Amino acid sequence: MNIVQRHLLAGSALATLALVAIPSAHADEAPAADAPATPSQIVVTARRLDTARESIKPSLGASTYTLGEQAIQNLPGGDNQPIQDIILQMPGVSQDQFGQFHVRDEHNGVQYRLNGVIIPESIAVFGQILSPRLIQRIDLVTGTLPAQYGLRTAGILDITTKSGLKDATTVSLYGGSHETIEPSVQVSGSSGTTTWFVSGDFKHSNLGIDNVNGDRSAVHDRTNQVNGFGYLDHILGESDRLALTGGYANQHFQIPNPVGLTGMQIDASGNPVAIDGMTQFPSAPLNETQLQTFGFGALSWLHSAGPFSSQVSVFSRVATLDYRPDMVGELLFNGLAQAATKRDLSFGVQLDSAYKLGSFHTVRFGGLFEDDRSRSYTQTAAFQVDPDGLIDGPPEVLPFNTDVGQRTASVYLQDEWHLVPHVVLNYGARFDENDGVRNERQLSPRVNLVWTPPGGFTWHAGFARYFSPAPFELVASANLAQVAGTTAAPPVGRDDPAYAQRESYWDAGFEQKLAGGWTIGLDGYYRRLTHLVDEGQFGAPIILTPFNYARGRIFGSELSVQYARGGLTAYGNLAYAKAQGTQIDSNQYNFSPSDLAYIATHWIYLDHNQTWTGSAGASYHWATGPLDGSRVSVDMVMGSGLREAAPPPAGSAYTDTPNGAALPYYATFNLSIGHKFAASGIDVHIDVQNLFDKIYEIRNGTGVGVGAPSFGPRRGFFIGFSKTL
């Protein structure tokens, strides 16, 4: 199978890809009412209900890139790597620090769905919330999305989880460089009409976030992480199924330290300030930590009978973040230190339905309601200042607590209209209302046209209006009046609340399947935005804060090529993008007066803009001969560099040109060699990360909203063992 599969028309064809029923002589016959269901009948019913669930949510006209379970295992690292590293192999996805990634140069526009159910976002910037071990298939849906998708519209990561139709227990152990050790277990099984799948893992590493120095070993970057996931479903009858999905992650991180720096504060008289008898603090022994937890659960009822299919779900999520500073060190480095705690609780109801009206029309409709409550607690230690400068004396501790809420309601209606053979028009609209820091709403029309003539050619074009509120779990409330007269006071005193992003999006592309196992695709898009949402790290806690550009423009194109024949699969992706904004119109206190003045009259690149982004990979499996059971794979990620501040033009009054330059180009390669021993069933693989030991800087600590430098990991060696019992 292809490592990355691309679908422009992802309706029934996509369902067929992974949801083929096990053959049965009476597959279409329902069991008698008084007869117990046989295992084969349960499998057929489960597969049919899976297909019905997929039919509710086809991404007609959007670009969909797919990775299956085996394709993930083919990648170097397999399911032991973070999910974000897997997503980087998809077209148009660029790498950022802290494990972040961007789809088509948008910052935080990705929505996660498990089996079609929305999973609300986490507060955490870094850390692996969802493990690849739970994935049967993952689809990245982007472009002009049908009306059923909203609120987060840069990309939909729709994950189909593993189920328990096959009784199995898999244990594995993975480890290597950076003191990495990662044991894990997966258990699947069934009893009667009930099936289950659970997975759990523990990870320890001395490279938890990013190395800020570019050396082989990071300083103060240890992490311990526990992740768990469970899926349980129960077939009520041939037309109904209940499913319970849940997960939990608990992750502790040390904040990595630079080396060779010294923190010192000078008072208005020119004397060094002393704290606990210290007037200087070296950077290497700083001791800052961050603890993140994330738990979610969803209960879904799927009903499918005749032309009607529907899934209704109730879901909830709780996320916490605790940042603990090095008080003395941060005060001497930054003039302030802040302990921060955030708690966010959300619950909601989601409905998605499809009704087939004859041969030409399928109507889809649904809605969403979500309620969020966010509480934050901070303790800010800062020095007092006067017009002459810092006042020598003990720091003042300023507590600040907030408790805010948000409600979001959405409805949509759309029609899949088969106009003539091989031509489908998918049109509709959704209405969203968001009542949070602002009360805003929008009616968003959507239309996509898809042409699939014989011969393996697919063409699509579409338009969509989008409405995307700023991430509520990250929205910050400023205490500008409280910190006035201290070193915590910002240079700008304006604090307009964040707006919802509004967007017009045009997209067109094609895909052609060629003889010999080749497939080629090309897609282009153009986007005009009002109140473009971006995010930045503006303090020592690694918590992002959203802000808006009054206007934005993003455009680009993506080329993808795939090949599959025999035991060889290969793919390559290349994306070009430009993303710019002007006039910051919310949360202005986070910026310097010079940057605000420059951006008010100039278009600037977004800090996460990367002009060229690429990925590629290949794998080969031996199925015969002396190497039967062996495999080798390689993958690659490249980028032309994210943005950094540049010197201002000669004679300019500005201190720099925000995001005026790009960091250097980089390309990194990963290699994996593995073998499954038939006699014992043990699978062994050796992985080499960053094969050529490329030193590359993801961030250098400059740019709009960029708080710290980050380097990619140096070359590392890892070995993994797994066995299915």
Where exactly are the structural domains of the chain? 5-724
Residue 450: how many other CB atoms lie within 10 Å: 22
pLDDT value at 35 more than 70 = no
**pLDDT for residue 26:** 32
Amino acid 124: pLDDT:
67
Q: What is the pLDDT of residues 225-272, one digit of tens each?
A: 999 999 999 999 889 999 999 999 999 999 999 999 999 999 888 899
Q: Which amino acid is at 631?
A: R
Q: Please tell me which residue, 516 or 632, carries the higher pLDDT value.
A: 632
Pairwise pLDDT comparison (3 vs 22), residue with the higher score? 3
- Local confidence band at 39 (pLDDT 50, 70, 90 cut-offs): low
CA distances from 258 to 261, 284, 308, 534 (A): 7, 6, 59, 26
DSSP H/E element including 186: strand 180-191
Q: pLDDT grade, residue 578 (50/70/90)?
A: very high
Q: What one-character-per-residue DSSP string does 571-594 give?
A: EEEEEEEEEEEEEE-S-GGGS-HH
Q: What SS3 class is residue 108?
A: coil
Q: Is the pLDDT of residue 399 over 70?
A: yes
pLDDT recorded at residue 22: 27
Token pair for 703: 């740019």
For 135, the token pair is 């994935």
Contact 548, 584 (CB under 8 A): yes
CATH number for domain 5-724, candidates 2.70.98.10, 2.40.50.140, 2.40.170.20, 3.30.950.10: 2.40.170.20
SS3 97: helix
Task: Give the per-residue pLDDT at 20.
Answer: 27
CA atoms within 13 A on the CB side of 198: 7
Length of the chain, in residues: 725
Who contacts 489 (Cβ-Cβ below 8 Å, separation ≥6)? Answer: 385, 480, 483
Query: Following DSSP, what letter does each residue of 507-569 receive, concatenated?
Result: EEEEEEE-TTSEEEEEEEEEEEEEEEEEEE--SSS---EEEEEEEEEEEEEEEEEEEEETTEE
Token pair of 647 as six digits: 């010197």
Instruction: Take residue 153 and report the two structure tokens written for it.
Output: 């519209």
Mean pLDDT for the stretch of residues 513-517:
89
Task: Identify the burial level of 256 via C-beta atoms within 10 angstroms of its C-beta, where 0-12 means exposed, 13-18 middle and 19 or more buried.
Answer: buried
pLDDT score recorded for residue 670: 97
Per residue in 199-222, pLDDT tens?
A: 999 999 999 999 999 888 999 999
Phi and psi angles of residue 54, each rounded to the nearest 5 degrees, phi first? -65, -35
Question: Does residue 711 have a pLDDT over 50?
Answer: yes
Average pLDDT over residues 566-578: 95
User: Distance of CA 182 to CAs 29, 267, 468, 716, Å?
Assistant: 46, 49, 37, 15
Say how far apart CA 142 and CA 138 lie, in whole Å. Answer: 13
**Helix (H) or strand (E) segment spanning residue 351:** strand 336-357
pLDDT digits (tens, 9 = 90+) for 413-439: 999 999 999 999 999 999 999 999 899
CB 255 within 8 A of CB 289: yes
Averaged pLDDT, 21-45 = 48
DSSP secondary structure string, 304-326? EETTEEEEEEEEEEEEEEEEE--
| Cα angle 473-478-482, degrees, rounded to a multiple of 5 | 145
Average pLDDT over residues 535-543: 75
Which residue did the predictor score with more confidence, 41 or 144? 144
* % pLDDT > 90, the chain: 71
Q: Which residues touch 323 (CB under 8 Å, ≥6 apart)? A: 288, 289, 290, 338, 339, 340, 341, 540, 541, 542, 543
| Rounded (10°) CA dihedral 21, 27, 28, 29 | -150
